[in-house]
């Protein structure tokens, strides 16, 4: 890790732990083997899951960095850890949908699997106790969760990420159905894409078979959960083991 020595744990979430380093602006992100769904109501541990999400997310972040996407990600340290810039996360989850599935089908009664005429961007307020409710841009502005400029920048980055990832995964025989992003502010004020991009936060469908290659296999008890994650990593150019 060079000069960045891992120190005390400063945060533990559902899927990751954050550790301080000798640099107050740099953290170590360690991926866990934990699965959670439905705001933590369903839980499981699967050995190897943290490794796969770290490898996949690092690979995707590296791809986005080459196209100028501003990231908290710095580099992958080993199979479980990354170095990242320390950020203050906005209390908003940003969901982009290309195809209808999941909560939008239940919430609006629209058809499952419909290709949308353009990407749909939604905002959710990050609060497990409230079930991460969907909110409008006005909610974010009025309650001070983000400024108008920040909302605009977040949407622009999200749409660009969508274009980049759709192109990447289409070449791998995978449909990018939807995904969730989180953003944060670094100490110097920079707005950065943060958290992770993995089968935990994206829906991936095999373009030939329609097989789910993401956390829906855990949510819906479809089986072979880690096999799906391994397949994403394999298609990205990684080794199966």
| Distance of alpha carbon 70 from alpha carbon 5, whole angstroms | 24
DSSP-derived secondary structure for 100-122: --THHHHHH-PPTTPEEEEEEEE
Give the CATH architecture of domain 9-87: 2-Layer Sandwich (3.30)
CA 30 to chain centre: 15
What is the residue extent of each domain of the chain?
Answer: 9-87, 88-224
At 1 the pLDDT is 47
Q: Report the CATH fold assignment for 88-224.
A: D-amino Acid Aminotransferase; Chain A, domain 1 (3.30.470)
Task: Find the helix packing angle between 148-170 and 49-66, rounded to 10°.
Answer: 100
At 53 the pLDDT is 98
At 239 the pLDDT is 60
Number of residues assigned to the chain:
241
> Token digits for 17?
């732990």
188 C-beta neighbours (distance < 10 Å), count: 7
Per residue of the chain (241 residues), give pLDDT as tens.
456 789 999 999 999 999 999 999 999 999 999 988 876 678 899 999 999 999 999 999 999 999 999 999 999 999 999 999 999 999 999 999 999 999 999 999 999 999 999 999 999 999 989 999 999 999 999 999 999 999 999 999 999 999 999 999 999 999 999 999 999 999 999 999 999 999 999 999 999 999 999 999 999 999 999 999 999 999 999 864 4
| Distance of alpha carbon 80 from alpha carbon 17, whole angstroms | 10
At 238 the pLDDT is 84
* Residues 5-24 pLDDT 10s: 899 999 999 999 999 999 99
């Amino acid at each position: 890790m060079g000069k960045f020595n891992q120190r005390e744990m400063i945060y533990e979430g559902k899927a990751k732990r954050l550790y301080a380093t000798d640099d107050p602006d740099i953290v170590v992100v360690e991926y866990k083997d934990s699965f959670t769904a439905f705001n933590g109501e369903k839980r499981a541990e699967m050995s190897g899951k943290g490794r796969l999400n770290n490898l996949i997310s690092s690979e995707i972040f590296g791809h986005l960095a080459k196209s100028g996407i501003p990231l908290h990600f710095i580099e992958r340290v080993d199979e479980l850890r990354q170095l990242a810039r320390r950020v203050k996360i906005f209390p908003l989850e940003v969901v982009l949908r290309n195809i209808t599935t999941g909560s939008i089908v239940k919430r609006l009664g629209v058809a499952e699997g419909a290709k949308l005429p353009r990407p749909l961007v939604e905002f959710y307020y990050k609060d497990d106790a409230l079930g991460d409710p969907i909110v409008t841009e006005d909610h974010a502005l009025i309650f001070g969760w983000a400024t108008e400029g920040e909302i605009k920048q977040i949407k622009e980055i999200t749409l660009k990420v969508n274009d980049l990832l759709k192109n990447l995964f289409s070449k791998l025989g995978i449909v990018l159905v939807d995904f969730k992003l989180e953003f944060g502010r670094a100490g110097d004020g920079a707005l950065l894409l943060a958290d992770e991009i993995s089968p935990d936060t994206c829906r991936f469908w095999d373009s030939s078979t329609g097989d789910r290659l993401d956390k829906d296999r855990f949510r819906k008890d479809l089986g072979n959960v880690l096999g799906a994650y391994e397949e994403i990593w394999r298609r990205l150019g990684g080794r199966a083991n």
